[in-house]
Amino acid sequence: ASVKMNIPDTLRAFSQSLIQRNKERKRLRGPAHLQYAIADSISMLNPQVWQQLAQNSGFFMSHAYFAAMEQVLPLNLSPRYALIFDGHGPDAEPVAAIYMQLADVSLAQARPEADPDDADGWRYPIEQLAQNARQRVLVCGNLLTFGQHGIAFAANTDLALAWHGVAEVLYRVRQAEKLAGKTHFVMIKDLHDPFIEPAKQLENLSYRYVETEPNMVLDLDASWKNHDDYLASLQSKYRSGVKNAVFKPL
């Protein structure tokens, strides 16, 4: 079979696609014409506005949760928060609440803890290399939980505008954090439906969607009244695994 291609039309369409992509990229790299309140602590932001935005986003986006978690975060995690508003002054409408974490990660954290009694001298340079191999990551979301726990949008908000605002917040935080050191990359954690489609415009800012492990969510059957009912629903090999690995006496 032979295929006839109109090369000029194909090139013209490709050229128009590039022009449109560059135009969209330029738009997103510019200001979203929104207003921002960015803080190092949740206590610095208006709790009523935060809770108004987060009321339908679950416990892990609540003001009370973040206030408590600030006190017990691992030493390599530092929180950042933001509120986005559309408009100026007292008439400004809340658009989104954003939770972020700055994470300092070293290769040493992925290695088994060194044995203090191990006197092998050749291991010292490797340990030093692992300690010095560090990455600084800005995460929109929570590294300590599963799920989209980084953004809460106002109901009926313009999602294209709101996501532009999210990108601008992340850019502003990353630029401000240059005072403390380079941020190597930015991640928006655990995007899932219905967030994926509206967030696709961020591909024009070099964001890329990366598939990771699914959320570990267990749907509870209405017929289960106790743990034995749950075990009875499992295949025998999994049921045996639970009994032998979890409940078997030591």
pLDDT at 91: 87
pLDDT at 122: 47
> Are the beta carbons of 83 and 36 closer than 8 angstroms?
yes
pLDDT at 237: 86
Instruction: Report the pLDDT averaged over residues 83-103.
Output: 94
Write the pLDDT tens digit of every residue in 11-26. Answer: 767 666 666 667 767 7
pLDDT at 138: 95
Please state the pTM of the whole predicted model.
Answer: 0.73
Burial of residue 50 (CB within 10 Å: 0-12, 13-18, 19+) is buried
Instruction: Report the pLDDT averaged over residues 103-132.
Output: 58
Write the pLDDT tens digit of every residue in 175-208. Answer: 998 888 888 889 999 888 888 898 988 888 888 8
Q: Is the pLDDT of residue 1 over 60?
A: no
Write the pLDDT tens digit of every residue in 130-178. Answer: 455 578 999 999 999 988 999 999 999 999 999 999 999 999 999 998 8
Enumerate residues 6+ apart whose C-beta is below 8 A from 8. none
Most confident of 208-217, 221-230, 237-246: 221-230
pLDDT at 71: 94
